């Protein structure tokens, strides 16, 4: 998903040159996915970026990899639905995934373009897909390892049973490290930091498109949602889970995550990518 506006970052962070040779952060995710057997890349972006991204990626990716660059557009609505009034920002992450419904017909992974998830996340998700064609999964990261030094963050904190089946994802919108504690400033809840957090790395199958469409139809009937409301992917999956339509396994990533929520996160990301390239985790340049 690369259709965000980068409001906290100050510009379109998805296309910022963070790699040692000017690579975008999502190019490292694409590289890791291909290394673990994924052969179809779908990028969801704003209409104005479709041609640029298509040219940029198609000149870099191996020839056997299928590439689709899809626009997330406000006018892309379920049949029979409409809205009135003004709106500028996209409809949200669930709608972003729904925008790709015409080009995806197999189990797939959803990620954010502005997050780095680590090679092991793709290996574990590929293994899961090979053995589970109908179930869903969430690759989780230890909460304390997902915080920013430069401000509060929004995180989905996972609750699971003893078999790592997901029970719920509770969105905490203002989590911050405070001396020796981790606290959600909105709710006042404190965390140990060892909880698993969702970083929007989901393993889904095409059954999700119908659920998103149904939820989106309901969303559009409420006029208060039209100006600024969003339909979020975790909420759709949570509803499917509660209605026993799906099971969701939580998979500890076993790897490192970092993101670029704030502009001040950029330097750390660049240093980490440089270090990984120097020790041989990635080729430099990334693509031949």
Phi, psi of 215 (to 5 degrees): -65, -35
User: Does residue 218 contact residue 165 with C-beta atoms inside 8 Å?
Assistant: no
229 alpha carbon, distance to own chain's centre: 19
User: Does residue 135 contact residue 248 with C-beta atoms inside 8 Å?
Assistant: yes
Total count of residues recorded for the chain: 288
**Looking at the predicted structure, is the pLDDT value of residue 6 above 50?**
no
Closest CA to 89 of 102, 101, 103, 72: 72
CA distance 59 to 51: 12
CA distance 221 to 218: 5
Tens of pLDDT along 18-65? 999 999 999 999 999 999 999 999 999 999 999 999 999 999 999 999
What pLDDT does 8 receive? 43
What pLDDT does 86 receive? 86
According to CATH, the superfamily of the domain at 13-278 is: Spore Coat Polysaccharide Biosynthesis Protein SpsA; Chain A (3.90.550.10)
pLDDT, average across residues 175-204: 93
How many H-runs (helices) and E-runs (strands) does the chain carry? Answer: 7, 12
Tens of pLDDT along 54-98? 999 999 999 999 999 999 999 999 999 999 888 888 999 999 999
Tens of pLDDT along 159-171? 999 999 999 999 8
Tens of pLDDT along 246-280? 999 999 998 899 988 777 888 999 999 999 999 99
Q: Output the average pLDDT for the chain.
A: 92
Query: Domain spans of the chain?
Result: 13-278
């Amino acid at each position: 998903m690369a259709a965000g506006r980068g409001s906290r970052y100050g510009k379109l962070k998805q296309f910022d040159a963070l790699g040692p040779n000017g690579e975008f952060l999502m190019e490292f995710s694409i590289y890791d996915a291909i290394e673990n057997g994924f052969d179809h890349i779908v990028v969801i972006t704003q209409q104005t970026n479709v041609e640029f991204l298509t040219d940029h990626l198609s000149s870099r990716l191996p020839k056997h990899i299928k590439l689709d660059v899809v626009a997330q557009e406000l006018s892309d609505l379920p049949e029979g639905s409409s809205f009135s009034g003004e709106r500028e920002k996209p409809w949200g992450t669930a709608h972003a995934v729904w925008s790709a419904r015409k080009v995806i017909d197999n189990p797939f992974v959803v990620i954010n373009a502005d997050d780095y998830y680590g090679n092991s996340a793709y290996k574990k998700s590929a293994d899961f897909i090979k053995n589970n064609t109908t179930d869903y999964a969430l690759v989780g990261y230890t909460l304390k390892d997902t915080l920013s030094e430069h401000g509060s963050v929004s995180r989905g904190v996972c609750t699971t049973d003893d078999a790592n089946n997901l029970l719920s994802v509770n969105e905490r919108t203002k989590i911050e490290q405070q001396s020796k504690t981790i606290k959600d400033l909105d709710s006042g809840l404190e965390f140990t930091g060892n909880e698993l957090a969702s970083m929007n790395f989901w393993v889904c199958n095409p059954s999700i498109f119908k659920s998103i469409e149904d939820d989106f139809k309901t969303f559009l009937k409420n006029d208060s949602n039209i100006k600024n409301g969003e339909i979020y992917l975790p909420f759709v999956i949570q509803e499917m889970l509660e209605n026993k339509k799906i099971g969701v396994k939580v998979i500890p990533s076993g790897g490192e995550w970092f993101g670029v929520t704030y502009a001040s996160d950029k330097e750390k990301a660049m240093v980490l990518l440089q270090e990984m390239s120097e020790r041989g985790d990635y080729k430099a340049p990334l693509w031949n």
